[in-house]
A = this chain, B = another copy of it.
Amino acid sequence: MSNSHASGHHQPIVFPPHARVDLRKFDPAATNGVEKEAAEAELIGLRVRLNELQNLLYADARYAMLVVLQGIDTAGKDGTINSVFEQVGPIGCSVESFKVPTPEELAHDYLWRYHKKMPERGHITIFNRSYYEAVLVERVKGIVPKETWEQRYEDINQMEAYLQRNGTIVMKFFLAISKDEQRARLQERIDNPKKQWKFRLSDLEERKYWDEYLDAFEDALERCNTKHAPWHVVPADRKWYRDYVVARALVEKLESLNLRYPPAAPEVLGLKVE
């Protein structure tokens, strides 16, 4: 991944449906002219507003929101969740992390275990990795043959369109970091006693597939970037910019729904409690 762009260079976050994103020319250190101090100050307000909007989403009870976070190891999925959702109460907001499938899950179609964890109306559910792993790790590591993963883009587009038609807003974020940044973050996990428990030797093995992962991400970003469920490609080398971009996109989307508190039933107005 190239670092040759000046970070003042404008780097789009959202692309036209099915446009090809060249990740080797994408600048993960881009900040699009945004100043760190200004972004951090605005983020404080965005976090508070996100909590208000989730409460309103709950009261309104018409929509659910699915937030999909993808990125290569150490891209900062956990850190993004902890920062962006810091002010959002846990009652209507949950995180689903998907691990190695169980035998029961493997005995079903591959989307089954994800569908079970979709948000109910009024809730925000964050998928920390998601069904996109079926066209990422399963493709890169050859867990399924090409004829299988090839057809999955269509499966995923159909499921996301179905979710959208039924009131679930789908917001997808690819956190893009540079290969150098990953090296630094893996090294930090090895060297910092408070982070060593997160490190696995297999992380180094995965790093060898960097280019294959970029190819797989490029295909997923192209083929599953739709009007109803657009991908956001987030420059994520700088954590403050990454969090700012994600928080802002979520707040803007929720604002656009015109959520409202449902009116009280006529017989409730003016009642006195004894």
A interface list, Cβ under 8 A from B: 59, 78, 81-82, 85-91, 93-95, 97, 126, 128, 183, 186-187, 190, 193-194, 196-199, 201, 204, 207, 261-265, 267-274
Residue of B with least CB distance to A198? B59
Which residue among A183, A261, A270 has the maximum number of chain B CB atoms within 10 Å of its CB? A261
* Residue pair A187, B91 in contact (C-beta under 8 Å): no
CA distance A204 to B88 in the complex (A): 30
Copies in the complex: 2
Report yes or no: B78 in contact with A85, Cβ–Cβ below 8 A: no
Q: How far is B267's CA from A186's CA once the two chains are assembled, in angstroms?
A: 15
Question: Would you call A94 and B86 a contact (CB within 8 A)?
Answer: no
When the two chains form their complex, are residues A273 and B86 in contact, meaning their CB atoms are under 8 A apart? no
Complex Cα distance, B271 from A271, in Å, reads 70
Is A197's CB under 8 angstroms from B59's CB? yes
Pairs A–B under 8 Å by Cβ, sample size 28: A81-B89, A82-B91, A86-B89, A90-B90, A90-B93, A90-B94, A90-B95, A90-B126, A91-B95, A91-B128, A94-B94, A94-B95, A183-B274, A187-B272, A187-B273, A190-B270, A190-B273, A193-B264, A196-B261, A196-B262, A196-B263, A196-B268, A197-B262, A197-B264, A201-B265, A201-B268, A204-B271, A207-B273
Q: Which B residue sits closest to A203, measured CB to CB?
A: B273
Closest Cβ–Cβ distance, residue A123 to chain B (whole Å): 10
Please give, as numbers and ranges, the residues of chain B lying within 8 Å of A126 by CB-CB distance: 90
* Minimum-distance CB pairs A-B, first 9: A196-B264, A82-B89, A186-B273, A197-B262, A187-B273, A90-B95, A91-B95, A183-B273, A59-B197
Alpha-carbon distance between A23 and B91 when the two chains are bound, in angstroms: 28
> Whole-angstrom distance from the CB of A130 to the nearest CB of chain B?
15
Interface centre among A90, A190, A274 (most CB of B within 10 A): A90
- Contact partners of A270 in chain B: CB under 8 A: 190
Chain B residue with the shortest CB-CB distance to A85: B90
Taking the closest CB of chain B, its distance from the CB of A105, in whole angstroms, is 16
A85–B134 Cα gap in the complex (Å)? 34
Complex contact A78–B91 (CB within 8 A)? yes
In angstroms, how far is the closest chain B Cβ from the Cβ of A101? 16
Question: Which B residues lie within 8 Å of A82 (CB)?
Answer: 89, 91
